[in-house]
Amino acid sequence: MIDIKGETLVTEIRQLDAKGSGQAVVWRENEHGNAKKLKLTIPRTLPGEKVRVTVDQPHRKRRKAIPDEIIHPHSERIEPACPHFNRCGGCVWQHWQYTGQLKQKTNHVKQALESQGFDPNLVKDAIGMEEPWHYRNKMEFTFAPDGALGLHEQGNFRKIISLETCLIAGKEMVEAAMEVADWVKDHQLKGYDKDAHEGLLRHLMVRQSYATGEMMLALFATEAPFLHLEHVVKDLIVRIEKKFPQVKSLLWMENTDWADRTQSEKTHILSGRDFIYDEMVGYRYRLWFDTFFQTNPTQAQKLVELALEMGQPKKSEKMIDLFCGVGTFSLPFASRVAKLAGIEIVETSIQSAKRNAKDNGLSNTYFLAKDARKGIDHVLESFGPPELLLLDPPRSGAGGKVMRRIGRSQPERIVYVSCNPDTFATDLKELVPFGYKLETVQPVDLFPQTYHVEAIALLQRQ
């Protein structure tokens, strides 16, 4: 059937891609009578579902299409709870029962490891949340050119969805963000236009400590909060201090760069201080606007506890924490080993790690701002080989050179924390020639309603 919008097809979802969207294949004949394959990416669908879609430019090899109708739905399909689900690019799995999400995440880790020659039976079932909503302690919202506050539309970086709510963010965080949105509307302030490179407000970052309740609000703007903006900014301060006493850090960040990132050329403290306090497994941390800290504190605590359980740190041992950040894993381990060296390329994170260690009374830590490979060499020279090594690299993984350097340093035990099963598996394979055996893998769901999954593994030197 052909209409002016394209060709309508009925197909079955074979599997999900790396971003959680359904994948389907349709075989069709071209004008010469030859079979031609059309690969479809269909968001908001589940494996095995039969769907009807309208495809524009169906003569192409690959197309993306939104389902017109779910003809035969998956048994675990549910009604999404969020009113923004069909447009927002955040929670792409709200239409899937949580038990189904967890099974898919477990299988993703298994498949990634099996593809690199590991036994998938080493992977345990993913640890989920009792309440998989309102778990995030940090959100970054974006202003549209008309001043509306929201999140990017799915698949369209330039379109902002104006939000009424967000079901994965902490409730108080959403209330504070909506207050800022009302303030912008009342003063008719303009958002930043990415195409014209003009406008005032770019982003709003909200972060809150679940342990202390302290909250940070950081506005990213193209101008300083003075001169003609002074009375407008004063109104914001009054509103926030009156309605949200838990806001201990209200910041105005100047950002004139064309790059669309939450970065600051100059920070203005409107109220309170430029950081908030948070806690995890009994240790206190200072968080600045650019501090990386796990966004799901409930599950992050489980991750740290699992790392301690797998690593079995001993008071007689030396340890390296690679990609240590601000010391999320460093501090709990440091109190259980003789000496700990943390390595991280971001200088501000290392400064924070040093300060956090001091705040918690730890004097056996050494933190170094270097890239991972050079950092290992530097630490080994002055520190000697460690008995225990932990690494928690970014989504891109540690990479072959770093993993081989780890293998040559020969720690007895390696604990690997990952947020990307695919790079996780390829990194682990690099350790096999150095005599390491994968003992166990535990997936942990830090991002319910999304396709992301964390995993933690223990490797022993044979």
Length of the chain: 462
Taking the C-alpha atoms of residue 446 and residue 453, their distance in angstroms, rounded to an integer, is 6
Four-point Cα dihedral 278, 282, 283, 287, nearest 10: -10
| Cβ-Cβ contacts under 8 Å for 162 (sequence gap 6 or more) | 144, 148, 149, 150
Token pair belonging to 80: 């999404």
Domains of the chain listed by start with CATH number = 2-75 (2.40.50.140), 103-129+292-461 (3.40.50.150), 138-280 (2.40.50.1070)
Q: Which pLDDT does position 58 carry in this prediction?
A: 76
Alpha helices in 96-211 (DSSP H): 98-114, 171-186
Catalytic residues: 419
Q: Are 294 and 328 spatial neighbours (Cβ–Cβ below 8 Å)?
A: yes
Mapped onto helix, strand or coil, the DSSP state of residue 171 is helix
* pLDDT recorded at residue 1: 40
Query: Residue 122 has what pLDDT?
Result: 98
- On whether the CB atoms of residues 327 and 356 are closer than 8 A, the answer is yes
Helix 400-409 vs helix 421-429: angle between axes, to the nearest 10 degrees? 50
Tokens of 461: 């030197």
Predicted confidence (pLDDT) per residue in 403-422, tens digit = 999 999 999 999 999 999 99
Q: Measured at the alpha carbon of residue 349, what is the angle toward residues 344 and 353, in degrees to the nearest 5?
A: 90
The DSSP output letter for 89 is: S
Rounded (10°) angle between helices 421-429 and 98-114: 30
Per-residue model confidence (pLDDT) at position 5: 60
Contact 455, 421 (CB under 8 A): yes
Mark residue 243 as left, alpha or beta (left: phi above 0; alpha: psi -120 to 50; beta: remaining): alpha
SS3 per residue for 326-366: CCCCHHHHHCCCCEEEEEECCHHHHHHHHHHHHHCCCCCEE
Computed on alpha carbons and rounded to an integer, the radius of gyration of the chain in Å comes to: 24
Element (H, E) at 117: none
Indicate the DSSP class of residue 100.
H
Dist CA 338 CA 359 (whole Å): 19
Question: Which two structure tokens, joined as six digits, stand for 156?
Answer: 């369209």
Residue from 22, 124, 33, 99 nearest 65 by CA: 22
Q: Give the DSSP letter string of 45-76.
A: --TT-EEEEEESSTTSSEEE--EEEEEE--TT
Say what the pLDDT of residue 461 is.
97
What does the block give as tokens for 360?
């918690």
pLDDT at 158: 75
Q: What is the pLDDT of residue 156?
A: 74
Enumerate residue ranges in the chain where pLDDT < 70.
Answer: 1-5, 30-31, 157
